Amino acid sequence: MPSMTVISATAVPDHLRGALTRWLLEVTPTLYIGTISARVRTELWNNLTACLTEGSAVLAYPAANEQGFTLHTAGPQRRDPLDFDGLTLIAFQRLPTSQETAKAL
């Protein structure tokens, strides 16, 4: 059964962006949304993670759990999803000290 799927993919190759737009709408330059089957979603995610070199990606889709969705990530991220007794929580990674002082300016 098709379900709403959201993919955020940054710094991915153009051929991969083209593959994503065959199945999903690109509503902003890095955000893809659509209603696709689980099989198509799995194939898109496998292709995305296989071709991801320096970028990052996040996949969200409905699931039968307390929050109503499942979250997957690939690539380097500042936010890491953690399972906490069946709930997905986000852990933020601290910026290195040199970047923290640069952001304060």
Q: Report, as an integer, the average pLDDT of 31-36.
A: 97
Q: 69 is written with which tokens?
A: 């969705």
pTM over 0.75: yes
pLDDT at residue 1 in the model: 80
**Secondary structure (H, E, C), the chain:** CCEEEEEEEECCCHHHHHHHHHHCEEEECCEEEEEECHHHHHHHHHHHHHHCCCCEEEEEEECCCCCCEEEEEECCCCEEEEEECCEEEEEECCCCHHHHHHHHC
**Measured distance CA(41)–CA(36) in Å, rounded:** 6
Predicted confidence (pLDDT) per residue in 37-68, tens digit: 999 999 999 999 998 888 899 999 999 999 99
5-9, 49-53, 81-85, 95-99: the lowest-pLDDT one: 95-99
